[in-house]
């Protein structure tokens, strides 16, 4: 017998929900009817257990009382009842049947969470707690019976004859084949060696070009520094000549003046220390 999972809130429709459960258990057996976990132990993961119960049940009865849609818990993502009904709506192998009790009306879809708005599109059954209870329960059990009734078995087509098995040739040189397969996996395939060789050659050429460029740059820097030193020497000679012509001092005084100018020039090149 397929499972029947009855989902309800104790504060909303607990009394009549228990009557529905007892009536279903009397017809389908106590082992086939289950309810949501009102007295579950603390060490049970309610979400996992609810998912297991919904996905293994052929029918889920959503008992809807007068305050069902106005309960703020229905809009909480971690609400167990909401999770059970949303899971049933998404499961193509589970039939969800809304059951209106206690004079409840079909809830407005705009007031429900997005995952429950299609619940009102299902076939709704009303169960009253007065003298019409047995009549309403009969209508509910008819709906349950339609959901749990197995689908008619389709006539299986005549089996096709199995094709004749192809002869299996024994492996030739199995050790060499295994070695070739290992080499192919290690090297990435036989067709990859030209690519790897080309990559190595390009890498070597790139390194060689980098060394040549660095050498040329160093030579250019040395050449520029030589020109700068020659220019500085010419400047010093010109300064020395100007000093000799501008003054009537002897050679010793001229050399002293040139030395002072050279010292001042080099000191200007040294950056000041902070």
pLDDT of amino acid 61: 92
Looking up tokens 């030589």 gives 226
The whole-angstrom separation of Cα 23 and Cα 9 is: 18
Sign of the torsion formed by the C-alpha atoms of 173, 174, 176 and 180? positive
Buried residues in 20-49 as b, exposed as e (16+ CB within 10 A): bbebbbeebeeebbbbbeeeeeeeeeeeee
Tokens of 29: 């057996």
pLDDT of amino acid 145: 87
The whole-angstrom separation of Cα 204 and Cα 198 is: 10
Phi, psi of 103 (to 5 degrees): 80, 15
The whole-angstrom separation of Cα 125 and Cα 141 is: 10
The whole-angstrom separation of Cα 62 and Cα 100 is: 8
The whole-angstrom separation of Cα 179 and Cα 86 is: 56
pLDDT of amino acid 63: 93
pLDDT of amino acid 243: 64
In the beta sheet, which residues pair with residue 223? none
The whole-angstrom separation of Cα 211 and Cα 100 is: 86
What's the average pLDDT block by block, 10 residues per block, for the chain (274 residues)?
85 89 90 72 72 89 92 89 91 91 90 88 86 90 80 50 56 53 56 68 81 84 84 79 60 68 72 61
The whole-angstrom separation of Cα 126 and Cα 140 is: 8
Helix (H, G, I), strand (E, B) or coil at 39: coil
| Half-sphere exposure in the Cβ direction for 114 (13 Å, CA) | 1
Looking up tokens 């529905």 gives 20
pLDDT of amino acid 45: 76
Tokens of 273: 């220390």
């Amino acid at each position: 017998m397929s499972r029947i999972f009855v989902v309800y809130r104790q504060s909303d429709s607990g009394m009549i929900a228990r009557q529905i459960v007892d009536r279903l258990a009397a017809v389908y057996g106590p082992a086939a009817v289950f309810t949501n976990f009102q007295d579950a132990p603390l060490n049970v993961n309610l979400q996992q257990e609810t998912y297991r119960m919904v996905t293994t049940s052929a029918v889920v009865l959503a008992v809807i009382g007068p305050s069902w849609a106005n309960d703020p818990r229905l809009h909480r993502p971690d609400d167990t009842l909401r999770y059970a009904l949303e899971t049933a709506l998404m499961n193509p192998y589970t039939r969800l049947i809304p059951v209106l009790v206690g004079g409840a009306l079909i809830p407005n879809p705009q007031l429900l969470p997005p995952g429950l708005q299609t619940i009102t599109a299902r076939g709704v059954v009303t169960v009253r707690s007065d003298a019409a209870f047995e009549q309403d329960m009969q209508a509910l059990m008819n709906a349950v019976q339609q959901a749990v009734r197995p689908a008619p078995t389709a006539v299986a087509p005549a089996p096709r004859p199995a094709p004749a098995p192809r002869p299996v040739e024994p492996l030739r040189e199995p050790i060499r084949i295994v070695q070739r397969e290992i080499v192919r996996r290690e090297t990435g395939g036989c067709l990859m060696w030209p690519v790897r060789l080309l990559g190595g050659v390009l890498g070597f050429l790139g390194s060689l070009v980098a060394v040549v460029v660095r050498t040329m740059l160093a030579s250019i820097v040395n050449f520029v520094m030589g020109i700068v030193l020659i220019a500085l020497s010419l400047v010093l000679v010109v300064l020395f000549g100007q000093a000799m012509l501008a003054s009537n001092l002897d050679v010793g005084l001229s050399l002293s003046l040139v030395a002072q100018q050279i010292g001042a020039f080099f000191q200007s090149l040294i950056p000041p220390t902070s």
